[in-house]
Structure 1
Amino acid sequence: MFVPEDGLLGVTINSFASVSLEPPLVLFSLAQDSQMLEPLLEQERFGISVLGSDQQRLSEQFAFEGHPRKYDKADIDMDSGQTPLLVGALAVLDCRVWQVVEGGDHQIILGEVESFEFREGDPLLYFQGRYAWLNSR
């Protein structure tokens, strides 16, 4: 999630990885034709929220395709006013854009993790086109 001048934007990403411990770097990618790409590339900071198994609704809300989604701040913690993070997420990472690399039909965004928090719980997973959980439901 990030905050351009015209409001709060967020997107569900399906692939996220740790890259380095020193400095602490993570990555994700967005398609070249994603309408989220340009607003993100104009930012210096972004937040990553790793959702719990009870947050499928939020994942679906942020996964809407077609145009960047603007959100009210009902489920958002602005982390001292800078980086938006989802309340109740299993992990939240406050990141600074470190580098952007072209990767075929995607842009790979590398972020330097400046702070993070986590809590215990089961993560929300997406596998073979549907949501899944580690524990039995």
Structure 2
Amino acid sequence: MTATPDVAAPRLATDDLLRSVFRRHAAGVAVITASGAAGPAGFTATSLTSVSARPPLLSFGIGTGSSSWPAVLAAEYVGVHVLGEHQEELAATFARSGADRFAAPTAWRKGPHGVPLLDGILAWLVCRVVGRVPAGDHRIVLAEVLTGDPSGTGGPLLYHRGGYTGLRD
């Protein structure tokens, strides 16, 4: 069922309106990691976007109130992990406030440039941060891809209507 826009009675722009609309937008799920002064840091992101092929650039958003923000702010390099449809619990762990995200059962290792890399994911990249752009209570981080591996198997994990799902054929 599709909605016909009601231009006669639009809702005012609020954070609730934005969230309500974006709950209907299916987004891929990624985990962003960085080495921080207090150890590895990371968070779940649905804002990962390819920006440019030449040079290879991507972006993601992070809230300045996030516990991972200090590590991402100071990091020269970040890890980007595309999650598979079997990794709902991993996505939930990295989205959970106050969780020890790198404790068992999370499997990870130090990758190039000391970036924490998660094991068993669909694909990963190590990137050099080239910019942090203010955007309200968030920052949009621009990063240049340096290396990675797209060889994981399975379908992508998606976030839609407030929950995780996979693609359905």
Q: Which residue of 1 aligns with 2:72?
A: 40
21, 30, 45: which is aligned to 2:53?
21
**How many pairs are equivalent?**
135
Determine the C-alpha separation between the residues in 1 that align with 2:100 and 2:125.
20
Any idea what SS the aligned residue of 1:122 has? coil
Determine the C-alpha separation between the residues in 1 that align with 2:131 and 2:70.
14
Trace 1:75-114 onto structure 2 (pairs within 5 A). Answer: 75-80=107-112, 82-114=114-146
152, 155, 161: which is aligned to 1:122?
155
| Alpha-carbon shift at residue 22 of structure 1 (Å) | 1.1
Q: Which residue of 1 aligns with 2:82?
A: 50
The structure-2 alpha-carbon separation of the partners of 1:70 and 1:128, relative to structure 1 and needing over 3 Å to count, comes to closer
Higher fraction of strand: 1
Determine the C-alpha separation between the residues in 2 that align with 1:70 and 1:130.
19
Determine the C-alpha separation between the residues in 2 that align with 1:81 and 1:100.
19
Deviation digits for residues 20-42 of structure 1, max 9, x if unmatched? Answer: 11111110011232232122111
Gaps of 5+ in 1: none
- Which contiguous aligned blocks of 4+ residues in structure 1 show a shift greater than 3 angstroms? 67-70
Deviation digits for residues 82-111 of structure 1, max 9, x if unmatched? Answer: 211111111101011111101122100011
The structure-2 alpha-carbon separation of the partners of 1:45 and 1:25, relative to structure 1 and needing over 3 Å to count, comes to same
Structure exhibiting the larger radius of gyration computed from Cα positions? 2
Gaps of 5+ in 2: 1-32
Q: Percent identity?
A: 36
- 1:5 counterpart = 2:52: no
Code of the residue aligned with 1:126 in structure 2: it is Y
Conserved 8 A contact 1:7-1:71: no
Greater CA deviation, 31-40 or 95-104? 31-40
| Alpha-carbon shift at residue 8 of structure 1 (Å) | 1.2
Determine the C-alpha separation between the residues in 1 that align with 2:136 and 2:96.
23
The CA RMSD over aligned residues, in Å, is 1.9
